[in-house]
Amino acid sequence: MDKQYVLSLLADLVKAFGETFQMVGISLAISIAAGIPLGLLLYVTSKNLFWENRAVNVVSGFVINVIRSTPFVILLVILLPITQKIIGTTIGPIAASVPLAIAATVFYARLVQASLCEIDRGIIEAALSFGASPMQIIRDVLVPESMPGLLRGLTVTAISLIGYSAMAGIVGGGGVGDLAIRFGYYRYQTDIMFVTVAILIVLVQAVQMGGDAIAEKTNKK
């Protein structure tokens, strides 16, 4: 292996990981901003809660299920026209972030809902008995009390996103998935594929451990 080759390989890797981070970062930020409110909506409109609303609950649950049951590769293709409208192109990591963000948001919303369900209803009742308003309960009870669960869900979402972002490479999103396929599969450069996978393993481990550590720190139970 000559020096030139290693250097160009390194440059490709850096670029690919940069794109992956970009895709995961944008989608993760959107899934926090949209997934938490959506999860809260699912929870507070459920039975016997303060904004109980069967119609809203069923419709939002159904939409989430539809998106979640669509295989991600298909979702990528279906959303191409929408991506074109929003971003102006369908190529590149920013364009790939559109389907990634949508998939991650509905995925995270379900995890948010699940961790909210873990809160003892008695605590919500206590807050109501002190005259708390629904918004106060959301801000001061639901979110802080479910924080460890919200963070664990975010870790799971981030790791899924790393995996999904590799698929986004197929439609021109770039990133490590694209790199591994182009070099490792089409060009038979298995060394690149192994390096990529090794880096991904380290990355996923780091995210999981970091997420667990932060979640544990917020857990006062």
Partner 1 sequence: MVHVKDLSVTFRNGRNVLHAVRNADLAIADGEIFGIVGTSGAGKSTLLRTVNLLQKPSSGSIIIDGVDITGAKGQELRRFRLSVGMVFQHFNLLYARTVAENVAFPLHIAGKTKKEIDARVPELLDLVGLSDKSSVYPSTLSGGQKQRVGIARALANNPKILLCDEPTSALDLETTNALLDLLGDINRKLGITIILISHEMAVVKKICTKVAVMSEGKIVETGNAYDIFAAPVHPFTRQLVEHTLDLELPPRLLKEVKGSLVKVVYRGEKAEEPVLSDALRKHAVHFNVLHGKIEYINGKPLGVLLIDTIGDKEEIQKAIDYLKTRAESVEVIHG
Query: Does residue 47 bind partner 1 (CB under 8 A)?
Result: no
- 133: three-class secondary structure by DSSP: coil
How many Cα atoms occupy the beta-carbon half-sphere of 138 within 13 Å?
18
Spell out the alpha helix ranges (H) of 45-146.
54-69, 72-78, 80-87, 93-117, 121-129, 134-137, 143-145
- Residue 74 or 213: which CB sits closer to partner 1? 213
- Residue 71 or 131: which CB sits closer to partner 1? 131
193 is written with which tokens?
């594929």
Stretch that binds partner 1, among 16-24, 45-53, 119-127, 159-167 (CB under 8 A): 119-127
- 51: three-class secondary structure by DSSP: coil
Looking at 123, 206, 209, 213, which residue binds partner 1 (CB under 8 A)? 123
Stretch that binds partner 1, among 71-79, 120-128, 156-164, 180-188 (CB under 8 A): 120-128
x/- track of binding to partner 1 for residues 136-155 (CB under 8 A)? x---xx--xx-x--------
* Residue at 198: amino acid letter: A
Compute the least distance from the CB of residue 31 to partner 1, in Å. 22
Compute the least distance from the CB of residue 203 to partner 1, in Å. 30
Q: Are 138 and 44 in contact (CB under 8 A)?
A: yes
As a whole number of angstroms, the distance between CA 208 and CA 202 comes to 10
Stretch that binds partner 1, among 103-111, 132-140, 153-161, 167-175 (CB under 8 A): 132-140
Looking at 77, 87, 128, 156, which residue binds partner 1 (CB under 8 A)? 128
As a whole number of angstroms, the distance between CA 102 and CA 218 comes to 28
Q: Is 116 exposed, middle or buried (0-12, 13-18, 19+ CB in 10 A)?
A: buried
- Positions touching partner 1 (CB under 8 A) are 120, 122-123, 125-133, 136, 140-141, 144-145, 147, 218, 220-221
